[in-house]
Amino acid sequence: MTRDGRFAPSPSGTLHVGNLRTALLAWLFARRAEARFLVRIEDLDPGRSRREHEQRQLADLAAVGLDWDGPIERQSERHELYRAALEQLRAADRVYPCWCTRAEIREAASAAHAPLPEGAYPGTCRELTAAQRAEREASGRTPALRLDAGAERVAFDDRLHGRVEGVVDDFVLWRGDGTPAYNLAVVVDDGDQRIGEVVRGDDLLDSTPRQLLLQRLLGLRAPSYAHVPLVLAPDGRRLAKRHGAVTLEDLHDARGWEPADALGWMAVSLGLAEPGERVTPALLESRFSPRRLPREPATFDAADQRPR
């Protein structure tokens, strides 16, 4: 298995320095391993995805010095692969329709006694009688399609977090609006592109057991994982545009920052440079070691632009 990596943004807005820092880390993991680095656009949501956002994101990646291998892949152009995976799971009798609303899911989950994570789906529609299913079908509402996961416990070794395990709930594979769900699409994409190491924010750590189970059911080889710390705002929440000047464009307009200044901040926050030092991705690659990465999140303050 290679160490090929990827960065897979959703084109629903402009990347901020936290997104770019995760992209830099994914690039460093791959390049340090002399592996490919791919960019995939996760544009499954037609209501939020915009081609102009995609173009801006790619331009910002290039502006801080990141390059990638091969053509840009877009999830919106890969529905046939997702449908084939869904049919494979359906043939294995691991798929069932679900008509539950969000309110019903919250109510059922609070009453469930199964060893599932908080907020997980307890399998309500999996247990429907024939009459109950017929009643829901007659409602005319298109159901989502869920995986029958069997409350399976899945464990893996993360390169930063060590041993992690979780119980997998019956998560959605295909939405009622006809859109493939994230977990199905990302597993199919990583398998098809032969991604060997997934480097992403640690807010996605809890979703990994779901993806590992899907990989096994679909006969795909599992990549290794490294869930890296996020960038937070001074209020302790995950960094977002509501926190002010956090994108390259906004930082340039508000503070006169150039992309090299943003790269320098990222390098300092990762312990790869001294404050004020001018760096390049190639220099950071020569200094990079996964074992020396910070395990705690960095804080970005748009008022002073210093990690804490």
Q: For 34-49, write each residue's pLDDT tens digit.
A: 999 999 999 999 889 9
Is 48 annotated as belonging to a binding site? no
Same domain, 110 and 40: no
Asked whether residue 192 is domain-assigned, the answer is: no
- Return mean pLDDT, the chain: 93
Is 98 annotated as belonging to a binding site? yes
Please state the separation of Cα 222 from the chain's center in Å. 16
* Three-class secondary structure of residue 226 per DSSP: strand
Does residue 69 have a pLDDT over 70?
Answer: yes
Same domain, 55 and 141: no
pLDDT tens, position by position, 151-186: 999 999 999 999 999 999 999 999 999 999 999 999
Asked whether residue 123 is domain-assigned, the answer is: yes
Q: How confident is the model at residue 105 (pLDDT cuts 50, 70, 90)?
A: confident
Same domain, 90 and 66: no
Helix ranges restricted to H, the chain: 17-32, 51-63, 79-91, 102-111, 130-138, 182-192, 208-217, 248-255, 259-269, 281-287
Same domain, 133 and 107: yes
Boundary (domain end) residue, out of 149, 184, 219: 184
Is 6 annotated as belonging to a binding site? yes
Boundary (domain end) residue, out of 155, 184, 213: 184
Does residue 84 have a pLDDT over 70?
Answer: yes
Mean pLDDT value across residues 256-276: 96
Same domain, 17 and 107: no
- Contact (Cβ atoms closer than 8 angstroms) between residue 306 and residue 46: no
Q: Kindly tell me the number of DSSP H helices and DSSP E strands found in the chain.
A: 10, 12
- Strand 224-228, strand 197-201: pairing: parallel
Same domain, 93 and 52: no
Does residue 305 have a pLDDT over 70?
Answer: no
Same domain, 29 and 53: yes
Asked whether residue 160 is domain-assigned, the answer is: yes
Asked whether residue 197 is domain-assigned, the answer is: no
Is 104 annotated as belonging to a binding site? no
Q: Bridge-partner residues for 20, per DSSP?
A: none
Is 7 annotated as belonging to a binding site? yes
Question: What's the rounded Cα separation, in Å, for the pair 283 and 230?
Answer: 22
Tell me which residue range forms the domain holding 139: 80-184
Mean pLDDT value across residues 112-136: 82
Residue 103, domain CATH = 3.90.800.10
Question: What's the rounded Cα separation, in Å, for the pair 27 and 22?
Answer: 9
Asked whether residue 113 is domain-assigned, the answer is: yes
Is 10 annotated as belonging to a binding site? yes
Helix ranges restricted to H, 100-148: 102-111, 130-138
Residue 240, domain CATH = 3.40.50.620
Same domain, 89 and 163: yes
Q: Answer whether 0.95 is exceeded by the pTM.
A: no
Does residue 115 have a pLDDT over 60?
Answer: no
Is 90 annotated as belonging to a binding site? no
Boundary (domain end) residue, out of 147, 166, 184: 184
Is 275 annotated as belonging to a binding site? no
| Nearest Cα residue to 116 out of 149, 147, 93 | 149
Give me the sign of the Cα torsion angle 167, 170, 171, 173: positive
Does residue 112 have a pLDDT over 60?
Answer: no
Q: How confident is the model at residue 241 (pLDDT cuts 50, 70, 90)?
A: confident
- Contact (Cβ atoms closer than 8 angstroms) between residue 201 and residue 22: yes
Q: How confident is the model at residue 111 (pLDDT cuts 50, 70, 90)?
A: low
CA angle 296, 301, 305 (to 5 degrees): 100
Radius of gyration from C-alpha coordinates of the chain: 21
Is 295 annotated as belonging to a binding site? no
| Nearest Cα residue to 263 out of 229, 305, 301 | 305
Q: Bridge-partner residues for 201, per DSSP?
A: 228
Lowest mean pLDDT among 114-128, 206-220, 262-276: 114-128
Asked whether residue 243 is domain-assigned, the answer is: yes
Question: What's the rounded Cα separation, in Å, for the pair 5 and 223?
Answer: 9
Is 259 annotated as belonging to a binding site? no
Asked whether residue 305 is domain-assigned, the answer is: no
Residues with Cβ within 8 Å of residue 67, at least 6 apart in sequence: 37
* Three-class secondary structure of residue 11 per DSSP: coil
Residue-level pLDDT at 106: 77
Mean pLDDT value across residues 79-87: 98
Asked whether residue 25 is domain-assigned, the answer is: yes
Same domain, 105 and 123: yes
Question: What's the rounded Cα separation, in Å, for the pair 213 and 152?
Answer: 8
Same domain, 161 and 245: no
Q: How confident is the model at residue 251 (pLDDT cuts 50, 70, 90)?
A: very high
- Contact (Cβ atoms closer than 8 angstroms) between residue 112 and residue 122: yes
Same domain, 61 and 84: no
DSSP 56-67: HHHHHHHHTT--
Same domain, 51 and 11: yes
Percent of the chain with pLDDT over 90: 84
Residue-level pLDDT at 308: 45
Looking at the structure of the chain, the number of domains it has is: 2
Is 290 annotated as belonging to a binding site? no
What secondary structure letter does DSSP report for 282?
H
Residue-level pLDDT at 101: 86
